[in-house]
Structure 1
Amino acid sequence: MRQLDDSQLRRLEEHKYSCMSVSLMDPLMQKWWCWLVEQCPLTLAPNLITITGLAINIFTSLILVYYSPDAKQEVPRWACFLCAFGLFIYQSLDAIDGKQARRTGTSSPLGELFDHGCDSLSTVFVSLGVSCSVRLGMLPYWMFFQCMMAVTLFYCAHWQTYVSGTLRFGYIDVTEAQFGVMAIHMVSVILGPEFWAMKGTSVLSPVVPLSLILVPAVLIAWKSPEGLFLQDPTIYLLTFGCVAARVTNRLVVAHMTKSEMAYSDASLLGPAALFLNQYFNCPISEKYLLYCVCAYVIYDLIKYCRQVCLEICEHLNIMMFTIIPKYPQTKATSSMEKNGSSSKYMTRSKSKVKNN
């Protein structure tokens, strides 16, 4: 059974690749990529470059999976370095396959499809590799979220391309994310995989929620087409300040209860909504969405604080804003205690008499 009919194949001939990038790191890497493609012989097929990079990336990622199949065991430092190096090779080859196609006059829709198909598969193995490197299997639900979020964002990027006809790369996009993954691997190389999980408590627990606040706060303000922060600085800071307060309160609770800091938090849905709205070219007014998110995070913060305080009051049998009065002792009781004739002393004396 054929996957493409004749009409699809005819329309494929008319397809033109369209891309727009404002990536911060791509201009810095262009000199390396341009030099690298010049080293390739003109007889080297662009698709062969793509598949070679993918094979290296998969192989180096599978080494980590071999040593830690459930992402809970410590992996060798050299394996983390090899995975980071494999990802760098994949990134470089993935960047020059299109240059090689234009250089040799062999650009075609097949090359674009082949490139993106390899990228979709690479996303899975990159996610698995970094999970093994930081022993994310100790927190399986966060591992699931991280891997599924990676493939979801990749899908959303091509969904946007399907709708708009242009593949868009933001300020912080694929290249920056890949270097971020390489940096994580290098931390495991230098400090050891045990750095990420010491004595059963992950050092990522307090760091990840904070980064999930600061990074979106900067990116959303930076990329906002409406100048969201400059237009409503107080509401913007109040929104992200309340999210930070919520996460900080959870950190305090985790410390006092001697428990692990959870990655997930309901208040993070607010920054996620603002981020996704920008990702899809702001179908909802940013100002309107910001006010809605602000109201939500304030409500969520109050609800969380109230619930925690009530649960503690119930457990410790205390009141939150009132004090139960303690009745003063009578003069007779006080004189008895001073003379050593209180009930507890009398009880002790009676027991001594009985024993004698």
Structure 2
Amino acid sequence: MGIFDYEYLNKEQIKGFNSYKYSCVDTSPLAVYISHPFWNWLVQFYPRTWVPNVLTLVGWGFVMGGFVLESFLDYDITRNSFGTADPIPSWFWLLAAVCTFLGHTLDGTDGKQARRIGASGPTGELFDHGLDSWSTVPFTITIFSIFGHGLYSISGVHLLCVLISTQIVFFTTHWEKYNTGVLYLSWGYDASQFGLMFIYVFTYFVGYEWFQFFVFGKWNIAACMEIGFYACCAGSLVMSLKNVMECKNWKQKKTGWKAAARLSQFTRFFLASVAWATKSPNSIVDVDPRMFFFCMGTVYSNITCRLIIAQMSNTICDIYNLTLLIYLSVIGYSFYQPAHELFVLRISTVAILLLHIHYGVCVVRQLCRNFKIYALDVSYLKNAQK
């Protein structure tokens, strides 16, 4: 067996994937009247040789690429702080808008292309949503980099809470499907993408200085945006609870207590992240915010991918996760040996990143072997037709 041939999925999960049927409801006005009509028109011009998973990967690459580029330009998220003499170049915000648009468009058309050429299936859905779960970090951190650090921004701890609120919305959507069997897409997704593009373009034309004022009292624009994220999170939670309560065919009815117990890993994860950020001996969230958020976001993505797999295969979600155990161990060690905190964060981030990539590649390859398809090639369709 090769390094990427390890089989993470058990027989029960594979069996569940074999009988999986996609069910989705998207009632967002922006999606219904703008996004989907545009995507339906655009996908007609795609060559039929374009692979849906490649579209997904390229779209995710634009989003993550913008985040990586900004990390080089403003690693510690301070370059746009009040009084700075060397802000982030204005061209970057126009580029960020383009990357967001392309990421959103490719993410919206990959499934349509798959259905158009007859390549749709659970592997592509898992590939798509797995990468989406990793995008919560670049979406959140990039937009708040406009405000820099200090007077007209929010603290690193508050930025972590904003990121968690974004992750909760994404997680809740899939937890809802885990119980109901239907993916009710959040209205906040399309709204956030259009909002990000607007703010990036606006910043390109007027400059980051425009955001440096207080709306009322000591509340600046960044703080108001933070409240907006929390409000969207609360609204999504209410709607998800409503959908679950109204569901007449609850998938996890017989094993509901086991499914609920699996929520504990998310609870531990979020609480541990906040505790580390607030009680860190070296204020790690301010010393190396990019690495902190990327590490945390990668662990979150790995946990969420396992939830998505359980939801799609109609099995109980894993309660143990090596990336989470490493993450929690690093937090504990940081309090035990504060002098090594930054070092262990960076080393563990590399280890967690490699583990997450290995997990994702192996799972996709295992599903491809099961369905006798290719992840990044659609030549198998011709063979199937023959």
TM-score, reference length from structure 1: 0.58
- Distance in 1 between residues matched to 2:245 and 2:121, nearest whole Å: 37
Q: Secondary structure at the match of 2:29?
A: coil
Q: Does 1:6 align with 2:11?
A: yes
Q: CA deviation at 1:207?
A: 4.0
RMSD: 2.8
Residues 80 and 211 from structure 1, CA distance in 2 versus in 1: closer, same or farther, beyond 3 angstroms? same
Residues 1:176 and 2:181 aligned together: no
State which of 86, 89, 92 in structure 2 corresponds to 1:76.
Answer: 89
Once the 2 structures are TM-superposed, how far is the Cα of residue 43 of structure 1 from its aligned partner? Answer: 1.1
Residue 55 of structure 1 pairs with residue 61 of structure 2 = yes
Q: Is the 8 A contact 1:62 1:129 kept in 2?
A: no
- CA deviation after TM superposition for structure 1 residue 123, in Å: 1.8
Residue 157 of structure 2, aligned match among 128, 135, 141:
141
How many residues matched? 227
User: Residue in 2 aligned with 1:303?
Assistant: none
TM-superposed CA distance for 1:208, in Å, is 4.2
In structure 2, do the counterparts of structure 1 residues 134 and 185 end up closer, same or farther at CA, with 3 Å as the change threshold?
A: farther
User: In the alignment, does 2:65 pair up with 1:65?
Assistant: no
Q: Which residue of 2 aligns with 1:98?
A: 111
| 8 Å CA contact retained: 1:84, 1:182 | yes
Contact 1:135 1:196 in 2 (8 A): no
Whether the 8 Å CA contact 2:77–2:145 is kept in 1: the answer is yes
- Is 1:42 the counterpart of 2:59? The answer is no
Q: Does the residue aligned with 1:173 lie in a helix, a strand or coil?
A: helix
Partner of 1:203: 220
Q: Distance in 1 between matches of 2:237 and 2:141?
A: 24
Most deviating of 153-162 and 139-148:
139-148
Match in the other structure for 2:26: 21
Deviation for aligned residue 1:35: 2.2
Distance in 2 (CA, whole Å) between partners of 1:161 and 1:82 is 34
What is the match of residue 115 of structure 1?
128
Which contiguous aligned blocks of 4+ residues in structure 1 show a shift greater than 6 angstroms?
Answer: 282-285
Cα gap change, 1:159/1:275 in structure 2, threshold over 3 Å: closer, same or farther?
A: closer
Contact preservation (8 Å) 1:81, 1:186:
yes
Query: Which amino acid letter does the alignment assign opposite residue 75 of structure 2?
Result: P
2: CA distance between counterparts of 1:25 and 1:149?
A: 21
Residue 150 of structure 1 corresponds to which residue in structure 2? 166
Contact in 1 for aligned 2:180/2:244 (Cα 8 Å): no
Change in 2 beyond 3 A, CA 1:32/1:212: closer
- Indicate which of 239, 254, 271 corresponds to 1:278: 239
Q: Which structure carries more relative contact order (alpha carbon 8 Å, separation 6+)? A: 2
Q: Indicate the percent of aligned positions where both proteins have the same amino acid.
A: 28
Residue segments in structure 1 that go unaligned for 5+ positions in a row: 217-270, 286-356
Range moving further from structure 2, 36-45 or 183-192 = 183-192
Distance 1:284 1:12 in 2: 26
Pair 1:33 & 2:36 matched: no
Q: What is the CA-CA distance between 1:157 and the residue it aligns to?
A: 1.1
Distance of 1:120 and 1:38 partners within structure 2: 28
Deviation, 1:205, is 5.8
Give yes or no for contact 1:135–1:193 (8 Å, CA) kept in 2: no
Render the CA deviation track for 1:40-63: whole Å, top value 9, x for unaligned.
111111001100111111112222
Counterpart position of 1:318: none
Whether the 8 Å CA contact 1:50–1:115 is kept in 2: the answer is: yes
The one-letter amino acid of 1:46's match is: P
CA positional deviation for 1:92? 0.4
Q: For residues 134-188 of structure 1, what are the alpha-carbon distances to aligned partners after superposition, in whole Å with 9 as ceiling and x for unaligned? A: 3267422221111121112111111111111111024x32111111122222232
Deviation at 1:71, TM superposition (A): 1.6
CA distance in 2, matches of 1:187, 1:13: 47
CA contact (8 A) 1:58 1:122 kept: yes
- Whole-angstrom distance in 2 between the partners of 1:72 and 1:181: 20
Is 2:179–2:244's contact at 8 Å kept on the other side of the alignment?
Answer: no
Q: Which amino acid aligns with 1:100?
A: Q
Kept in 1, the 8 Å contact 2:97–2:196? The answer is yes
